[in-house]
Chain A
Amino acid sequence: MSIVDKVIDRRLLLKGFLVAGPTLAVAARLDLQPAGATIPGVGTPMYEEHSDFMDEYIQLSEPFLYDLLVEIKPDNRVYFEIPRMEVGQGIMTTIATMMADNLDVPLESMDVALSKADPKFQDSQWTGASNSTRMLWDPVRVVAAKVRAHLTAAAAQQWLLPAATLRTQNGYVIAPDGRKLSYGALTAAAATVVPTDAPRLKKPDEFKLIGQGRTRANTKDIVTGKATYCMDLTEVPGAKPTIPAVWATHGATVKSVDNAAEVMAIPGVIAITPYPGYPEQNIPGGVAITAETFGIAKKAKNALKVTWSAGPMDNLSDKQIDDLLAGIQDKCVAPDLGEGVIDANFRWPYVSHAPMETNTAVAHATADKVEVWSGPQIPITAVRNIAKVLGYAENQVVIHIGPRGGAFGRWLFHDAVFQSAQISKLAGMPVKFMLMREEDIKSGRTRPVSLHHLRATIKGGQVATFEHRMACPEMDLRHGLGDIVSHQVVTYNNNGAGLWFFECAGSGNVPYNFGVKAVTLQQHVLAVPNGAWRVVYSGQVCSANEILVDELARLLGKDEYQFRREYLMEDKQRRVLDMVAHEGQWGRPLPAGVAQGLGFHQEYHSLCAYLMEVDTRGAEPRMTRCTIAVDPGFAINPTGITSNMYSAAHDGFATVFKAGLHIDNGATRESNWNDYKWTRMYDSAPEMSCHIVPNTQAQPGGIGEVGIPAAAAAAANAWARATGKKARNFPINEYGA
């Protein structure tokens, strides 16, 4: 049941309009009312067969999202702030489309912005866990309905007609006789009118924009070079280019800067500022160099001599870390039942999120205020940490949120937001702060390395047991879930939070009838900063499961597609599998060394299957064709869904074949794209297609992450079928298997 259905159930009523100047500006709140008007006509109940972590979270947080800012301007433009971050997943376009359709205004009349960090959103202002479209679906519909009710009531008053006889279309209220008044002309009256009729939610069959594929809102800005990323901002004219020198080994701190005078003498160097970071939250300190240009700052950084303390893991390299993890890993316990058993040990390495735009932030700290322009996924935690550590009241910390050049989970933590504020305060000047690629990879957060022991046994010709024992460095979830309380709770028990998330998110879910199933996680604290990476634990766990599924099929002498059909538990799962097998021509003849591979995954109330073809005949494996089937629940922008699914194909391919970091005596070995390798054009398939199942529920599922495990598995399975080898140790291009 969605929150809107609960609204009806509990006879809640929306109220609390604010009047900003002469226009209707909505900031609706849900308030408990004893009885009275209700909001009719809401869609069917939420798909409930599987409850995941986000369901509970949405129930808790969504009420705060009704406080959306929508303002109808006199010129009939609509200003709408989205309390989220845009990182390329396309939510500004998707959510603007939802609002425009439900408001009955043209999409092109919308001016869409991202909200500043705002405590009024409580625990609901965070971009992650594929929650944005899911969580905003009901609030946008309700707030839009409320706005339409006010505009209609204002027109009714003017025309002396019953509101029920009026309709709204294209930014106008229209009378039965065809008279029209623009929303803009009504906005002043609408701000004060009290509608007598209850707001009416639009029904899915009334949607005009939702469900149509469309290009992203800022695509023209992007292709003409006008799109504004953090380092393009000119809001703080005195903010000078600033970059950090970072620790020699993870967790090390600055002992001394040894040649500051020499470096300050380089023409164009403005300041050298050691800063402590916030070690309690694993936000690294370092030495900031401020200069007239980033080029000069880089030269200065290369000339700078810093003495670093020893780090807490200087005696640890990959081998010792693996031994530590193997030591805490749960053991598989199922006995061999005499008809076959598969034991498999998988290892996924550390991988950097490495968004194309590195960590960046513009900050200006003064005695009584600090302002930062950046894009943390969870801004409230950033406000708290900056206030607490730098000595401000929370209302003296202003964080402006803008779109970013990628995130992939990297911005769940607000490292650069905090660091830039700290440096600005210490240096006494505004800064334009950026990590260069080397520092972004060497000191940045990562998806942690992980070991996986899987065992499956056969009895009676069937899979009887399926075990998965994962061990990894403790996932740092201290960013919390958008609010201060969970931030504090997770800080108190981070390991427990990880185990809880692991269980409640999709990672612990094995969607097959495999008899007795067990998926467990053990974690060990290590000083390499980490953080959730697109699809969190499932990226490793569910990819490994799907590789084992292929091997189980072969052990039982079955076709990998038919085996999945047989063991999947629900028709809707088989629907995406059948679709991908049909569209991708499963079983079509291919030359030796080229093969197809399948992968299936479901999470965030979306389901998908990938059929990837990989050619292993060249120097490195190449994706030659990729077919995707996805059930997104309810499709708002099929074009955007397709982009996200293609994106996951390339990420999955990279983690299987190309990408991996190494730890040498406490330091990350890799530093740039020469040694941290990612999918490139020559790896990418010349043939791709994405097939979307017609709507299967009344609400959208999450779509930004669900593709990763299926795509990675499809890539590994295709490679295994092409080569006859077993995929175990990633990336395959490094380890061979």
Chain B
Amino acid sequence: MPTINFTVDGKPVSVNADNNEELLWVLRDRLGVNSVKYGCGVGLDGVCTAIVNGQAVRTCITPVGSVAGGHVTTVAGLSDGEHLHPVQQAWVDNDVAQCGYCQAGQIMSAVALLNKNPHPNDDDIDKAMAGNLCRCGTYFRIRTAIKQVAAGKYAPGGEAKPTANTVYYAK
């Protein structure tokens, strides 16, 4: 198996994998990067979306060989320590997430949209977010959050308000 080099959230990684292995599973199962999730495996729900060299891609259908030498950004790479990206801040302030499972992908699609088109209208949002499914039905808050970022409501570096700490499984 060839050694493939690229960066994930700014850190260089090196992995032994077949070129045609899906980026999603290389990230999760070979590199332990869990900030991308599995939803459908065929590019239909956008759960696994990451940004590769500036483009939003579905990592579940992206061969890892195609990102060699490139830069992969997941939702974990948007924030700078405690300081949130404006899109993340908008997601927090609008309480967008419910179960949260699709939201990493939703956020990455929104970031890619806003990078290309800083002032999207409803039509633009419909088209750019069409590939990201959410079973909880959080679309209205996603739309609101994107519009608020576009309107310049959030500067980079915001912090989430303190709230209860979630311990995911009882000890």
Task: Pick from A190-198, A226-234, A414-422 the stretch touching chain B.
Answer: A226-234
A553: shortest Cβ distance to chain B, in Å? 28
| CB contact under 8 A between A114 and B170, given known A100-B164, A223-B97 | yes
Q: Are the CB atoms of B76 and A295 closer together than 8 Å?
A: no
The answer, yes or no, to whether B26 is at the interface (CB within 8 Å) is yes
Smallest Cβ-Cβ distance to B166: which chain A residue? A218
Out of B40, B93, B137, B163, which one reaches A649, CB within 8 Å?
A: B137
* A216 on the B face (CB < 8 A): yes
Name the A residues within 8 Å of B135 (CB-CB): 354-356, 406, 408, 678
| Residue of B with least CB distance to A643 | B98
* Interface contact B98-A81, CB-CB below 8 Å: no
Query: When the two chains form their complex, are residues B133 and A220 in contact, meaning their CB atoms are under 8 A apart?
Result: no
Q: Is the CB of A403 within 8 A of B168?
A: yes
Instruction: Output the least CB separation between A388 and chain B (Å).
Output: 24
Closest to B162 in A: A108
Judge whether B143 is part of the interface by a CB distance below 8 angstroms: yes
Contact B95 A229, beta carbon cutoff 8 Å: no
Q: State whether the Cβ of A401 lies closer than 8 Å to any Cβ in chain B.
A: yes
Q: Is B168 a contact partner of A402 (Cβ separation < 8 A)?
A: yes
> Which of A88, A93, A215, A241 is B92 in contact with, Cβ under 8 Å?
A215
Distance between Cα atoms of A650 and B139 in the complex (Å)? 9
B99 lies within 8 A of A356 (CB):
yes
* Chain B contacts with A in 116-171, Cβ cutoff 8 A: 122, 125-127, 129-130, 132-143, 160-171
- Which of the residues B40, B42, B74, B100 comes within 8 Å of A88, measured between beta carbons? B100
Contact partners of A355 in chain B: CB under 8 A: 99, 101, 135
Contact between chains at A108 and B104 (CB < 8 Å):
no
A111, A234, A651, A682 interface centre (most CB from chain B within 10 Å): A682
Contact with A224, one of B88, B136, B139, B167 (Cβ below 8 angstroms): B88
A220 in contact with B92 (CB, 8 Å): yes
Q: Taking chain B's interface residues, is the majority helix, strand, or loop, or is none over half, making it mixed?
A: loop
Which residues of B15-61 have CB atoms within 8 Å of chain A's CB atoms?
A: 21-22, 24-26, 28-30, 32, 34-42, 44-45, 47
Question: B102–A356 contact, CB under 8 A?
Answer: yes
Interface flag for B84 (CB, 8 Å): yes
Q: How far is the CA of A461 from the CA of B46 in the complex (A)?
A: 54
Are the C-beta atoms of B170 and A686 separated by less than 8 Å? no
- Write out the residue numbers on chain B whose beta carbons fall within 8 Å of the beta carbon of A640: 95
Interface residues of A in 656-686 (CB under 8 A from B): 672-674, 678-682, 684-686
Residues of B contacting A185 in the complex (Cβ-Cβ under 8 angstroms) = none
The reply to whether B164 and A405 form a contact with Cβ atoms under 8 Å apart is no
Is there contact, CB below 8 Å, between B126 and A681? Answer: yes
Closest CB-CB distance, B159 to chain A, in whole Å?
Answer: 9
Which residue of chain A lies nearest to B44 when distances are taken between CB atoms in the complex?
A673
- Interchain CA distance A223-B163 in the complex, whole Å: 15
Q: Which of A214, A217, A218 has the most CB of B within 10 A?
A: A218
Interchain CB contact under 8 A, B76 and A401: no
A676-699 interface bits toward B, Cβ cutoff 8 Å, 1 = contact, 0 = none: 001111101110100000000000
Report which residue of B29, B79, B84, B163 has the largest number of chain A beta carbons within 10 angstroms of its beta carbon: B163
Report yes or no: A403 in contact with B99, Cβ–Cβ below 8 A.
Answer: yes
Q: Whose C-beta in chain B lies nearest to the C-beta of A240?
A: B29
Q: What residues on B are CB-neighbors of A293 within 8 Å? A: 21, 25-26, 28-30
Among A113, A434, A436, the most chain B Cβ lie within 10 Å of the Cβ of A113
Could you tell me the distance between the alpha carbons of A382 and B32 in the complex, rounded to whole angstroms? 30
| Minimum C-beta distance from B49 to chain A (A) | 12
Q: Identify B98's interface contact among A89, A220, A437, A674, CB under 8 A.
A: A89
B133: A residues at CB distance < 8 A: 356, 673, 678, 680
A560 to B98 CA separation, bound complex (whole angstroms): 33
Contact yes or no, B25 A111, CB < 8 A: no
Asked if A90 is at the interface of the complex by the 8 Å CB criterion, the answer is yes
Q: A408-B135, A639-B95 are in contact. Are A674 and B44 (CB under 8 A)?
A: yes
User: A218 vs B138: C-alpha distance in the bound complex, in angstroms?
Assistant: 16
Which residue of the partner chain, among B41, B78, B136, B140, contacts A406 with CB atoms under 8 Å?
B136
- Do B166 and A356 touch across chains, with their CB atoms under 8 A apart? no
* Contact yes or no, A81 B170, CB < 8 A: yes
B17 shortest CB reach to chain A, Å: 8
Q: Is the CB of B100 within 8 A of A686?
A: no
Closest chain-B Cβ to A118's Cβ sits at a distance in Å of: 9
- Given contacts A111-B167, A114-B170, A672-B40, A646 and B134 within 8 Å (CB-CB): no
Q: How far is the CB of B87 from chain A (nearest CB, A)?
A: 8
Contact string, A87-122, partner B, CB cutoff 8 A, digits 1/0? Answer: 111101100110010000001101111111000000
The answer to whether B99 touches A406, judged by C-beta atoms less than 8 angstroms apart, is: yes
Q: What distance in Å separates the Cβ of B156 from its nearest Cβ neighbour in chain A?
A: 14
Q: Is A51 an interface position by the 8 A CB rule?
A: no
Q: Is the CB of A116 within 8 A of B163?
A: no
A407 CB to closest chain B CB, in angstroms?
Answer: 8
A437 with B170: in contact, given A107-B163, A225-B104, A405-B99 (CB under 8 Å)?
no
Contact A223 B141 (CB under 8 A): no
Residues from chain A with a CB closer than 8 A to the CB of B171 are 113
Least CB distance, B16 to chain A, in whole angstroms? 11
CB contacts (< 8 Å) of B140 on chain A: these are 646, 684-686, 688
Question: How far apart sit A97 and B163, CA to CA, in the bound complex (Å)?
Answer: 9
A241–B32 CA distance with the chains assembled, in angstroms:
13
Return chain A residues, CB-CB under 8 Å to B44. 672-674
Given A113-B170, A241-B29, A298-B41, CB of A357 within 8 Å of CB of B163: no
Chain A interface (Cβ < 8 Å from any Cβ of B): 79, 81, 87-90, 92-93, 96-97, 100, 107-108, 110-116, 214-229, 231-235, 241, 292-296, 298, 354-358, 373, 400-406, 408, 434, 436-438, 639-640, 643, 646-651, 672-674, 678-682, 684-686, 688
Q: 7 closest A-B pairs (Cβ-Cβ)?
A: A405-B101, A650-B137, A88-B99, A225-B35, A295-B25, A222-B100, A88-B98
Can you add 11 more A-B contacts, CB < 8 Å, to A215-B95, A224-B76, A646-B140? Answer: A89-B98, A100-B164, A107-B164, A113-B167, A116-B169, A294-B29, A295-B22, A356-B39, A400-B170, A679-B137, A681-B139
CB pairs A–B below 8 angstroms (30 shown)? A92-B166, A110-B165, A112-B165, A112-B167, A217-B163, A219-B92, A222-B104, A223-B91, A223-B97, A223-B103, A225-B76, A228-B168, A231-B38, A293-B21, A356-B39, A356-B101, A357-B37, A400-B170, A402-B169, A403-B168, A639-B95, A643-B138, A647-B98, A650-B136, A651-B137, A678-B133, A681-B132, A682-B127, A684-B137, A685-B140
